[in-house]
Amino acid sequence: MKKKVLSLMLAGAMTAALLAGCGGGDDAKDPAKDQQETPKEDEKPEDGAQKDDTQGDQEGQDSQAGGEIGGSLVIWEHTDQFTEPLKAVVAGFNEKYPDVEVEIEVKTSDQYYNLLQTAMQAGETPDVFWTNGLATTHYKSYVEGGYMMDLTDKVDFSLYEGTTAMNIVTMEDGSIYSTPTAETGGRCVYYNKDIFEELGLKIPASFDEFEAILAKIAETDYTPIAFCATDPWTVLFQFEPVLNGMSVDWVQDYEKNGTVKVNDERVVAAYNKMLEWADKGYYGNGYLGVDGSGALLAFSKGEAVMCIDGTWNVAVIDENNPDLNYGAFQVPTATGDQPMVGTNSCGYGVSADTENPDAALAFVNYFATVEAQTIWVNALSSIPCTPAVVSENPVANEIASFDYLTESYYNILGYLANPDADETATSVWEADQCKVFAGALGVQEFVDSLQSLLVE
């Protein structure tokens, strides 16, 4: 009997030790984790509870509505790039709603959707969270799963009237579950003004002139264009302007008819042009070994004279090298037009199960105001999609001088998707895009595989 009791005690001690080992993290507090942890229910301040001195006293009586709404709000963001703009918007929001305690959690890296879905399944969906709207299938599945609040009649979207901004968040039945942003996510050619002056170059007025500039730079020690072929998105952000420059009529065919062949000879010609540039050394010899940020760094450091990339990278380039004297233009067409491939940008949705719907709705409503979007666009140094929002960044304003907006090749792959196909063209595109530049897949074979997954 004694032996049995002793055994039980030992086994119990072993279990306790095991469990203590597993749960040790709770005791050993990680300050970084503390920062990100959602406040527990009993720690949440009551509505209208006293906030810290700096915020509470400052704007406490500014707005009657603000005074009535309080509590805490957790916002999930997907990338560090949007952290500062979001913080700036939250600061503006807190001036109006001083009693709302907002906690921003940046779930960066490629785990964002995975973490969000886990939180949803665990019943711990953040009050407000970012999605990429209809650009991905996630938004639609969250809506269909009942995880997102219908904002159609709850948010004032009048700021976006007359723009295409709402396209990215409006479901087929017209309902809206997320706010867009006033940012146009475009593509442009960043160029080093000092090197252009040194080499006696001018902003090209036609596609031929653009190619002539590339050839002239290639004769020097500079790399004409910083490029990376390891990341499909960086490839896309160059391919689309090149396609526009060579055959803007291709995308115009789509805009006119609502359909187009993505394996059209004009598309193939644009890819082949980029491969030709690679062979001529216009990308340097390391483009298969760097990632997107590496390519941007090469431009920021002045090793490459140009870089064709997303317009949202102005802030990144400024951060890489604050002294860089650079500007931006669009890849011109043969006739001198400067079209810009532009996409709408998505903002934040609200959890259907939020415990603080008033504060969550107050936030998304504030996010849809001119004030908030001016803060957002300027913090990102990006291009506004509406004249109501004015950018203060000179490079952003240079980019904004394009002639007209055109649709994205990638978006067209999504719009023309065949719902009965085994795979989506966008996922095949993402998986195979880089293989074209690595020589593992022919251009025609690649675009044919995309076309086979679209509606005829």
Partner 1 sequence: MKKKKKNRTHLFFIAPGFILYTVFMMIPLAFAFYYSFFDWSGIGPMKFIGLGNFTKLFTSPRVSATFFSALGNNFKYLACVMLIITPIQIFFAYILYIKVRFHKYIRFMLFLPYVISTSIVGFFAIVLFDPNVGALNEIIGNLFGKAHKLAWLGDPNLVFKIFVGVIIWQCIGSGMMIFYANMQEIPEEIVEASVIDGCGEWKRFWRVVLPMLTSSLKTNITLSVIYAMTMFDLPYVLVGPQGGATGKLDFINMVFYRFAFGGTYFGETSIGFGSAISVVMFVIIFILTLVTKKLLKKLDY
Binder of partner 1 out of 203, 226, 377, 425 (CB under 8 A): 226
Q: Cα separation of 152 and 174, whole Å?
A: 8
Binder of partner 1 out of 20, 205, 421, 438 (CB under 8 A): 438
Contact between 158 and partner 1 by CB under 8 A: the answer reads no
Contact between 231 and partner 1 by CB under 8 A: the answer reads yes
Would you give the binding string for partner 1 spanning residues 303-332, x where CB under 8 A is met?
Answer: x-----------------------------
Judged by CB under 8 A, the stretch of 80-88, 207-215, 347-355, 418-426 that binds partner 1 is 418-426
Q: Torsion angle, CA of 241/245/249/252, rounded to 10 degrees?
A: 30
Judged by CB under 8 A, the stretch of 27-35, 88-96, 117-125, 378-386 that binds partner 1 is 117-125
Q: Cα separation of 281 and 299, whole Å?
A: 16
CB of 122 to partner 1, least distance (A): 12
Contact between 45 and partner 1 by CB under 8 A: the answer reads no
Binder of partner 1 out of 18, 20, 205, 390 (CB under 8 A): 18
Going 250 to 256 to 257 to 259, the CA torsion angle's sign is positive
Judged by CB under 8 A, the stretch of 24-32, 33-41, 69-77, 437-445 that binds partner 1 is 437-445
Binder of partner 1 out of 215, 319, 427, 442 (CB under 8 A): 427
Contact between 440 and partner 1 by CB under 8 A: the answer reads yes
Contact between 10 and partner 1 by CB under 8 A: the answer reads yes
Contact between 434 and partner 1 by CB under 8 A: the answer reads yes
CB of 83 to partner 1, least distance (A): 15
Quick one: three-class SS letters along the chain? CHHHHHHHHHHHHHHHHHHHHHCHHHHCCCHHHHHHCCCCHHHCCCCCCCCCHHHHHHHCCCCHHHHHCCEEEEEEECCHHHHHHHHHHHHHHHHHCCCEEEEEEECCCCCHHHHHHHHHHCCCCCCEEECCHHHCHHHHHHHHCCCECCCCCCCCCHHHCCCCHHHHCECCCCCECEEEEEEEEEEEEEEEHHHHHHCCCCCCCCHHHHHHHHHHHHCCCCEEEECCCCCHHHHHHHHHHHHHHHHHHHHHHHHHHCCCCCCCHHHHHHHHHHHHHHHCCCCCCCCCCCCHHHHHHHHHCCCEEEEEEEHHHHHHHHHHCCCCCEEEECCCCCCCCCEEEEEEEEEEEEECCCCCHHHHHHHHHHHCCHHHHHHHHHHHCCEECCCCCCCCCHHHHHHCCCCEEECCHHHHHHHCECCCCCCCHHHHHHHHHHHHHHCCCCHHHHHHHHHCCECC
CB of 304 to partner 1, least distance (A): 8
CB of 31 to partner 1, least distance (A): 20
Binder of partner 1 out of 152, 418, 449, 451 (CB under 8 A): 449
Binder of partner 1 out of 38, 141, 272, 397 (CB under 8 A): 141
Contact between 298 and partner 1 by CB under 8 A: the answer reads yes
Contact between 367 and partner 1 by CB under 8 A: the answer reads no
Binder of partner 1 out of 257, 285, 335, 420 (CB under 8 A): 285
CB 340 within 8 A of CB 398: no
Binder of partner 1 out of 106, 295, 307, 375 (CB under 8 A): 295
Contact between 190 and partner 1 by CB under 8 A: the answer reads no
Q: How many residues bind partner 1 (CB under 8 A)?
A: 69
Binding to partner 1 (CB under 8 A) within 59-78 occurs at: 78
Contact between 430 and partner 1 by CB under 8 A: the answer reads yes
CB of 56 to partner 1, least distance (A): 36
CB of 1 to partner 1, least distance (A): 12
- Measured from the CB atom, is 89 or 434 closer to partner 1? 434
Going 141 to 112 to 406 to 254, the CA torsion angle's sign is negative
Q: Cα separation of 311 and 303, whole Å?
A: 20
Contact between 20 and partner 1 by CB under 8 A: the answer reads no
CB 135 within 8 A of CB 168: yes
Binder of partner 1 out of 88, 288, 316, 370 (CB under 8 A): 288
Judged by the rule CB under 8 A, the positions of this chain that interact with partner 1 are: 3-4, 7-8, 10-11, 14-15, 18, 22, 78-79, 109-114, 117, 120-121, 132, 135-138, 141-142, 144-145, 147, 221, 226, 229-233, 284-291, 294-295, 297-298, 301, 303, 410, 422-424, 426-428, 430-432, 434-435, 437-440, 449
